[in-house]
Structures are given as structure tokens and as C-alpha cells.
A and B are shown apart, each in its own frame.
Chain A
Amino acid sequence: MRIAVLLSAGRHPVSGAAVLPRLEAQAIRIAAGLGTPVGLHAGPDAAAVADALGQGLSRIAHVALPEGADPVPVLAASLRAMAPDLVLAGRRGQGGDESGIVPYALAAALGLPLIADVVAVAPGEAAGTLRLDQSLGRGALRRVVVRGPVVATVHPDAPAPLAYAFGQARRGVIEPVAAIVPAGPAAAPAAVEERPYRRRPKLVKGAPTGGSAAERLKAATGEAGAAASGRLLVDPDPDEAAREILAYLRGIGVLAPPSPRPNP
């Protein structure tokens, strides 16, 4: 199976140093379990993604692209030439705009279906099909079976990346690839104004908007809401206590009601 992993030049969220985004390292791990993946990067400098060689890739194709140019047409042209069965990307970039739109634009340009937020990929039962597990959060999954080539983005709940191997990183090669289509003009700077990030207070669930400071504090520490109106049973009969607990758990919906339709 031919697999392409899209590699972007990431920045470390704290230090700002050039680093391979974790999601893409996780994508390499998923890909390595299926075949021999090839990395693909479009950007001014291939050194930015050289780390990926130590994470399990043996070959990276690098399309030189001026800084700030739109990578989508170039990536689409290279992928069309490679014709992979599976294209893996991160769900968001890291250190740039982090908008996560590149895989969607690529899938549209290539005319391929896109499956978002996958945590595992396996070959399907029928030939030419793939089984992808999409994360729904909280460990729940949606299992999708797709025919033919597909673009998938990787979710952070995917297995942790492989350990970095120095020997592999030295043996791996980065091949420059000529851009098949000329890079489009640098994307017109959108009318965004940038400032240093300012942290804003998160909304506190259930906090009264017009209440007093004491009420808001109570809501923030979790003493309001369910806890404030808490029920206290002192020395109940254990069976009585058990009934109360089950009723409460069912009331908040974490426990299924006694099944009216038992399993056959």
C-alpha cells in the first residue's frame, strides 16, 4: 500500500523552536503499521521536517516553495503523481495559523473523500478498502469503511509516536522534487490584525451571569449546582442507599436504565 504522510514545518508551542508536530509523528506511526510511508513537505526548507526521518520515515519528498506561498496546488500535483492509497495529515498544523484547512482543500483538489480525526487505520476485509476509526471523544469511536484512496487527518488520541531513532534519521533521505505546477502567488494577506495572545477567562458552567462574586466563586469551585443542592442521607438502610444511588446515576444519564429489551 502506498501511503503519503503530509509533513508541515511546526513550531514548538512553548519554545518556538522548529519541531515535527506531534500529530504528524503519530500519523507516521499509523502509516508505519500499514506499509512503507513516504513523507511529503512543501516549503522553503527541508531541514524543518528532517526529524520525521528519525520517527519512522525512510524517505521524504520535498517540494521547494517560497515562504508564504499556498502549498495546496503544489501538494495536490505531487500527490496526483504519487497516487497513494492513503494520505495522512495532522488535524491541525502547529505553530502557524493552525486552521487545519490544508487537508480539506487538498481532498477537494484531488477529488478524494476525507475522514477526519482518525486514531487507527487498518486494511478492510474486501480488497482495496480501508477501515478507519474516527474519534468521537471520550474513547468512543466511529468505524468507517472506505473504498479506494482516501485522505485522513489524525486525532491526538491516536497511539503515541514512535521513539526517535538517531541511526534511522541518518540513513533516511530527503529527495527534492520539482514542483509540477508553478507555485501560485503568495496568498493575499487576509485582513487580520495580530497581537500578543491574551488569555481570557473560560466560561464557568452554570455560573449566574448577574450574581454576586461569592456566587460566581461557588460556581467556579464546584460547590454550586449539583453539589450545593446536594442530598445527604445519614445512616440509611444499605438497600435504600443503593436505590438512591442508582436513581441518581440514571437521573444524570451515566447509567443505562434497566434494559427493557434484554440481550437475546
Chain B
Amino acid sequence: MTRPRRDPRAERAAIQVAAGPRPRFDRSARAAGGRPRRDPRPERAGQRVPGASRPRYDLSQVVPAQALRGEVAVAAEARQPAAAKILVVEDPAFLVAVVPDAAGGRLSPHDRQVLGAARVLAGREGGILVVSVGPCEACGPAGADRHLALGEVGTDPDERAARVAAALAVASPRHVLFPESLDGGDLARRVAVRMGVPLFDNAEVVAAGGLVRPARGRRVEQRAAPGLLASVAPDAVADYAGPPREARPLAHDLPPAAEPASTILSVARIPADPATVPLSLAEFVASAGNGIRDLDTFRQLVAALHATPGASRVLCDAGLMPRHTQVGASGTVLAATCYFALGISGAPQHLQGVAGCEHVVAVNTDLHAAMIERAGLAIVQDAQAVMPALLRLLAREKQEAGEGS
């Protein structure tokens, strides 16, 4: 058998790319004779599994190079992450109720963890019912199958507990979970006393096989099968991570509770005064370090930002700032949401005090300071110049707002 004689010149002429002053040849397009030329790089890219944070490859399939160049249609769409489909549990075998704090109608991070715990107890067959007093947004993505929104109640926590207890009596869930937060723990105990049911509080482990809580100063732990009422400790259980659920609103026709008149005359919220709140409780701390010479401007800035003042050890040792403002290993360990560091290098002893802060803003002249590396917004600039600029900007905004009225 004879092979047809190849004509390399003609073959090259056939694959010559038209454009360009220099002759260029598209060798990958040579489909006429023999195997198509493989291009390992796009093939590898085509095997990459979408979504994962570090590269993962599905070696079981080889996507031909032509397909990668879009010449041949393959079922590539199937490999794209499907638009998250809403999971529907039509007829749950049983319900696990969650009573979130939902302050301001939004789930707190702790509430989300409780929903995660509820999913552990509900398993595949059960459904999760969120019982919220007042509205509650975005329960579905957090893992709720049903949502029962009770009407707003007055300021009396007992009234709230009565509402929740009545709703739970109607819905008759198998388990009820509360967050063990200040308000959630309070509500859980009121509901437990009202229903006459024991409460398994502060559960640190939630599994279908049993709940675990610490006792006697964390010397022992108590394990029990999940009962009706339980409250879940913060940061103990992971959030619900599955596909969003429907959070189907349930109608309720609870009779308005006939409670005796409340003895609570008035309730007022007093926000924390940032100037006097202890450093360990403060929400937003602005801190000065050795790079700050003009402490008067710093104090004005702290007041204008409504922050709590802090300092590095150098300033406290020098007597420029009071000792109780020292942040760090030998000062106060912060639990703030945001830390604003002006002229602080970020020594390890100082960074230990900031480890728990979610957001850090740093202003420093040294690009290589450890604080700059730790910061979410790092500004390499003279803090002496940035502080007055901030004050000017805040003053102008205040003035504009005043004119706007």
C-alpha cells in the first residue's frame, strides 16, 4: 500500500495566515492530514474544575484543542457552575425551628451559625423553620425552608416570649434552636420557663447524635440527645453552606396574646460613648504611635471620627498618652471591628493586641512596616499631613450637610 506523496510546500501554503508582513503559519489548524496538533496548555486549562479556590483538574476528560478555540461545540456549558438552584423541601418529615435575634430585620453572623446547626439536626428530610419577631431578610440563602414572621411586639421581652411560645406550640417543631447571645439567651430562657421544658443552653457541639455543653467552669462537658429547646454558643458551628433554600412564608393566625399590662414604662437605647468606653469593648479604635508628634491634632481627629483613642507602648511609656490606652500584649487586647493605626510600625507585641480586629487601616511613612502589611487599607504617607486633611474633609462634610438642610 502506498501512501499519497506529501507536498510540504503546498501544505505550508495552505496553512499560511494571511495577515501580517511576515509569513505566519497556523500549524494547529492542520486537520487535513494526520492527527491534529495538540496544544497542551489550553487542554490543561480546559480540564480545570471551575469554582475551587486552588487549581483542581479533572484529568479524566480531554477537551480537544479545537473545542477550546471554539471551533467545535462541546458540552462546555455543563461544566460551568449552574446558577445556584433553589432547593425545595416540599413535605418535610419534621421541622427544626430557629428563633434568630435578627436585630433590625437582618440575620447576625451568630444567627447564621444557628441556622447551620439547625441544618445538622434537620438532615436531609427535615425542614428548617425560621420564627422571627418582625421581618427578617435573606433567610433562604442562610438555609431556611420555611419562614414564619410574627408581628412586631412592644418593648416587653415577656410579650415577645409569649408570642414565640405560642407560635412554637402551633408549629410543633421537633427541635428549637436559639442563639446564646444577650437577647437570644434571654428569650430562650423565658420561652423555656413559659413552656415548662428544660433548655439545653450554650451548646458547643451540635450533632444529630447529641449536643455538648460545658459546665462547672469548663471542667466537664455534658452530652445529651437533642431535646426540644437548645441554644447554640457563638462561633461553635459553621454556617449553612449548601444551595439557597426557599424560605417559604407561612401564614399564621395566632390570636393576639392577652398579656397582663406590662410594668415596663419606657425603654431607650443609649449608644456607647466612644470617648469613655473601655478599650477592650470599643468598636472602632484610632491609635497613635511613635510616628505621631502632634497629639493635639490626633485627639481632635479621634473625637471627629467618634473613635476610642489608643496608643502604642512608646507613647504610653513617654507619658504622652495614658497607660490605659495602650494596645498590645502588655496593654489591652482589642475586640474592635476596625483599627486605625497612625504612625505605628506594628511590632509583634503590638500586633497581638490587634489580632482580633477585622479591619485595619494604617498610615505610615515606611512601606515595609508590618502594620502596612496587616492593613486592609494601607497608606504610605506622612500621618502629620493626613490627619489635618481628614479633619478638613470631615469639617467640610459637616458644613455641606448643614447647608443642605
Contact = CB atoms under 8 A, between A and B. Distances in A.
Given A117-B186, A135-B182, A101 B389 contact: no
B376 A230 contact: yes
Interface stretch (A36-44, A79-87, A174-182, A245-253): A245-253
A131 to B, nearest CB: 9
A13 B224 contact: no
Contact of B217 (A95, A195, A211, A236): A95
A262 B405 contact: yes
B265 A225 contact: no
Given A241-B379, A248-B377, A252-B337, A116 B405 contact: no
Contacts of B379: 233, 236, 241, 244-245
Nearest to A199: B218
A251 to B, nearest CB: 9
B215 A96 contact: yes
A196 B402 contact: no
B125 interface: no
B401 A144 contact: no
B241 A113 contact: no
B11 interface: no
Interface in A217-262: 221-223, 225-227, 229-236, 238-239, 241-246, 248-249, 252-256, 258-262
A171 interface: no
Q: How large is the interface on B (under 10, 10 to 19, 20 to 34, 35 or more residues)?
A: 35 or more
Nearest to B156: A113
A172 interface: no
Nearest to A14: B217
Nearest to B225: A191
Given A100-B189, A145-B266, A138 B380 contact: no
B189 A101 contact: yes
B24 interface: no
Q: How large is the interface on A (under 10, 10 to 19, 20 to 34, 35 or more residues)?
A: 35 or more
Given A139-B278, A197-B218, A234 B389 contact: no
B265 A262 contact: no
A203 B192 CA distance: 28
A142 B268 contact: yes
B386 A245 contact: yes
A98 B194 CA distance: 20
A137 B217 contact: no
A61 B363 CA distance: 60
Contacts of A236: 379, 381
B381 A233 contact: yes
A259 B185 contact: no
B1 to A, nearest CB: 55
Contacts of A124: 265
Given A231-B376, A261-B405, A197 B263 contact: no
Contact of B264 (A95, A135, A144, A196): A144
A141 B223 CA distance: 35
Given A143-B270, A252-B337, A241 B374 contact: no
A203 B189 contact: no
Nearest to B393: A242
Given A157-B281, A203-B238, A233 B380 contact: yes
Interface stretch (B91-99, B196-204, B325-333): B196-204
B400 interface: yes
A133 interface: yes
Given A104-B193, A142-B268, A16 B381 contact: no
**Taking chain B's interface residues, is the majority helix, strand, or loop, or is none over half, making it mixed?**
mixed
B167 interface: no
A150 interface: yes
Contacts of B113: 203
B216 A95 contact: yes
Interface in B366-405: 367, 372-382, 385-386, 388-390, 392-394, 397-398, 400-402, 404-405
A200 B263 contact: no
Nearest to B265: A145
Contacts of B222: 97, 192-194
Interface string B343-376: 0000000000001011111010001000011111
A142 B270 contact: yes
A245 B361 CA distance: 8
A249 B307 CA distance: 11
Contacts of B266: 143-145
Contacts of B214: 98, 197
B114 to A, nearest CB: 13
A255 to B, nearest CB: 6
A203 B217 contact: no
Given A133-B270, A145-B264, A193-B223, A104 B361 contact: no
A262 B401 contact: yes
A239 B393 contact: yes
B237 interface: yes
Nearest to B358: A226
A108 B193 CA distance: 7
Contacts of A107: 193
A209 B374 CA distance: 23
A105 B193 contact: yes
B359 A226 contact: yes
Contacts of A141: 269-270, 272
Nearest to B116: A203
Interface of B: 52-54, 109, 113, 155-158, 182, 185-186, 189-190, 192-194, 198-199, 201-202, 204-205, 214-225, 235-238, 241, 262-273, 277-278, 281-284, 305-307, 337-338, 340, 355, 357-361, 363, 367, 372-382, 385-386, 388-390, 392-394, 397-398, 400-402, 404-405
Given A11-B217, A138-B272, A215-B54, 14 more contacts: A97-B215, A117-B186, A138-B277, A145-B265, A145-B266, A148-B263, A192-B224, A197-B221, A205-B358, A242-B389, A246-B393, A246-B394, A252-B359, A260-B401
Lowest 8 A-B CB distances belong to which pairs? Answer: A139-B272, A13-B217, A139-B277, A226-B376, A238-B389, A242-B389, A258-B397, A254-B284
8 contacts: A100-B185, A138-B281, A145-B267, A205-B109, A212-B54, A245-B390, A249-B284, A260-B401
